[in-house]
């Protein structure tokens, strides 16, 4: 059942809402739109390393069901960012992502022989489907340059981009060729109907792995940014933002930020990006750029779908708090999970995915529903003030369409009635809707009561999360003042 209330002018008491159970004191959260913080770019996930093919290979209706779970803003997580891996491997062996340049010309200024397979490891299909759901933010992120541009001649096992300080190669300086290659990727996506809005050229550059990896510190990254930015601009891609540098953790990312600032390249990047594996988000990063958390998950736990199981790293409730902490306490403009979908065989069926896709079947974790609780916060929203209530974490956002989103986590063990107050008469003529998630509910619609004082309230279970959306003026005659 869909329940939402149209609030008539001041006559809030006229609304006969069903009882919401035993009377609880309303825990009031006051929203203050005069306090303005960061702008939100969105929430997302990745289908990198051929995981997107799991969706490509699903038959209908399952394919649509999974796509709706990921992107639908009323029945799913409403994700608004897709992070795609830009392939660097010469072929698609194992789960590797193939590159558009399997063989470099003999010298950096030779003509590159790009090979576009029109699939991009399933990520093009995933992106085209996302476009249909209204997704506008596509982050193309290379784990490495092709091996033929690197000191170690391999896209895997670390190595550096030839030409970067400290990385000399007999074949020459491949920095401009790498920038051209990234531009080509953006152009190929554009020809397929997907506008890549953000571009990254590193992934976990503080770590060497047996799969695609390329080393860089912030100073070396800044050297490349100073080549990539004008290359994008010359190709009329002035609106493509450069993101950097996908550190394994927050403390390394802080070093990257200060090195990039020292090199004078901070004005050329859109967002500083980091993962949370080797160190978690602490306080806001010291940078003039926006900050995105671009990859994190529980890599250790066995596949679990629960919301609250003693606060485990894979619990949905833990994820509600992870996202909340990043956005509200650490000034993030985006929070991106690792894999949206994955199969059972990969990594012993751990928790690094939101949805387990196995052949033609799928299972949804509550981590997805934690993100769904944030779907009321749309790209372009400005975080505004929210405070009050005991055992409640709250945050409010002014969406670009004029609606107000309020997300609330109940940290207590008992149910609470949460009331949101946007100021006197603020709900006049507005629609207030609310959804909640707990062990047995997945962003379920719940009833909202409007009190005499103009507070919109609803009940949230212990260790549950509730999200309110106060929508713009309605044309409903009853709501007219």
Ligand X SMILES: *[C@@H]1O[C@H](CO)[C@@H](O)[C@H](O)[C@H]1NC(C)=O
Binding site for ligand X (CB under 6 A): 38, 68, 72, 74-75, 133, 235-236, 284, 290, 331, 333
Rank residues 91 and 191 by Cβ distance to ligand X and give the closer one: 191
- In sequence order, the 6+-apart residues with CB closer than 8 A to the CB of 321 are 393, 409
Minimum CB separation from ligand X for residue 75, in Å?
4
**In angstroms, what is the minimal distance from the CB of 351 to ligand X?**
26
Question: How buried is 19 (Cβ within 10 angstroms: 0-12 exposed, 13-18 middle, 19+ buried)?
Answer: exposed
Tell me whether the omega of the peptide bond preceding residue 61 falls within 30 degrees of 0, making it cis: yes
| Residues 6+ away with beta carbon under 8 Å from 471 | 403, 430, 431, 432, 433
In the complex, minimum distance from the CB of residue 396 to ligand X, in angstroms, rounded to a whole number: 16
What is the smallest separation between the CB atom of 329 and ligand X, expressed in angstroms? 10
Cis peptide before 224 (omega within 30 of 0): no
Nearest residue (CB) to ligand X, 198 versus 290: 290
Smallest distance from ligand X to CB 334, Å? 10
* Least distance (Å) between residue 253 CB and ligand X: 14
Residue placing its CB nearer to ligand X in the complex, 215 or 290: 290
Q: CB of residue 410 vs ligand X: minimum separation in angstroms?
A: 26
Q: Which is nearer to ligand X, 72 or 305 (CB)?
A: 72
Retrieve residue 433's tokens: 């809707």
Judged by beta carbon, residue 133 or residue 277, the one nearer ligand X is 133
Distance in angstroms (rounded) separating the CA atoms of residues 458 and 310? 25
Q: Which of 314, 404, 350, 324 is nearest to 36 (CA)?
A: 404
Contact 125, 84 (CB under 8 A): no
What distance in Å separates the CA atoms of residue 14 and residue 32, rounded to the nearest whole number? 26
Select 37 or 211, whichever has its Cβ closest to ligand X. Answer: 37
Residue nearest to ligand X (CB): 284
> Please, which residue, 290 or 353, has the CB nearer to ligand X?
290
| Residue 216 and residue 252 in contact, taking contact as beta carbons nearer than 8 Å | no
d(CA 135, CA 67): 12
What's the CA gap between 391 and 344, in Å, rounded? 37
CB 71 to ligand X: min, Å:
7
Length of the chain: 481
Cβ nearer to ligand X, comparing 330 with 410 = 330
Q: Which residues pair with 470 in a beta bridge?
A: 404, 432
Cα separation, 165 vs 226, in Å, equals: 13
């Amino acid at each position: 059942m869909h329940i939402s209330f149209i609030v008539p002018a001041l006559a809030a008491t006229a609304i006969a809402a069903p009882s919401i159970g035993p009377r609880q004191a309303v825990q009031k959260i006051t929203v203050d739109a005069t306090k303005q913080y960061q702008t939100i770019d969105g929430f997302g996930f990745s289908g990198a390393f051929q995981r997107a093919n799991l969706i490509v290979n699903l038959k209908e209706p399952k394919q649509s069901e999974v796509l709706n779970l990921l992107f639908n803003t009323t029945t799913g997580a409403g994700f608004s960012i897709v992070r795609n891996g830009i392939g660097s491997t010469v072929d698609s062996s194992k789960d590797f992502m193939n590159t558009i340049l399997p063989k470099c010309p003999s010298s950096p200024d030779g003509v590159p022989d790009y090979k576009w397979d029109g699939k991009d490891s399933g990520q093009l299909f995933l992106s085209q489907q996302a476009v249909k759901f209204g997704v506008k933010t596509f982050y193309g992120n290379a784990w490495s340059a092709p091996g033929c541009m690197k000191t170690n001649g391999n896209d895997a096992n670390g190595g550096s981009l030839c030409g970067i300080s400290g990385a000399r190669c007999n074949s020459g300086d491949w920095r401009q060729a790498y920038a051209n290659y990234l531009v080509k990727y953006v152009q190929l996506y554009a020809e397929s109907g997907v506008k890549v809005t953000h571009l990254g050229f590193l992934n976990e550059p503080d770590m060497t792995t047996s799969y695609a990896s390329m080393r860089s510190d912030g100073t070396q990254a800044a050297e490349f940014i100073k080549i990539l930015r004008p290359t994008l601009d010359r190709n009329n891609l002035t609106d493509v933002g450069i993101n950097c540098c996908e550190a394994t953790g927050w403390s390394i990312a802080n070093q990257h930020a200060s090195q990039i600032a020292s090199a004078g390249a901070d004005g050329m990047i859109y967002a500083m990006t980091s993962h949370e594996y080797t160190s978690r988000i602490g306080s806001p990063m010291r940078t003039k750029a926006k900050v995105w958390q671009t990859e994190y998950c529980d890599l250790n736990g066995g596949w679990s779908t629960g919301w609250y199981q003693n606060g485990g790293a894979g619990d949905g409730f833990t994820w509600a708090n992870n996202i909340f902490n990043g956005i509200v306490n650490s000034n993030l403009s985006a929070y991106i999970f690792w894999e949206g979908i994955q199969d059972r065989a990969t990594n012993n069926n751990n928790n690094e995915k939101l949805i387990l896709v196995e052949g033609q079947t799928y299972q949804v974790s509550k981590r997805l529903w934690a993100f769904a609780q944030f779907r009321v916060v749309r790209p372009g929203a400005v975080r505004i003030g929210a405070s009050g209530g005991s055992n409640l974490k709250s945050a409010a956002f002014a969406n670009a369409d004029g609606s107000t989103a309020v997300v609330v986590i109940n940290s207590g063990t008992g149910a609470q009635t949460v009331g949101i107050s946007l100021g006197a008469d603020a709900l006049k003529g507005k629609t207030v809707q609310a959804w909640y998630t707990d062990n047995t509910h997945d962003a379920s619609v719940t009833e909202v009561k409007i009190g005499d004082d103009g507070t919109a309230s609803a009940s949230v279970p212990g260790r549950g999360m509730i999200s309110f959306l106060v929508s713009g003026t309605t044309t409903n005659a009853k709501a007219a003042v």
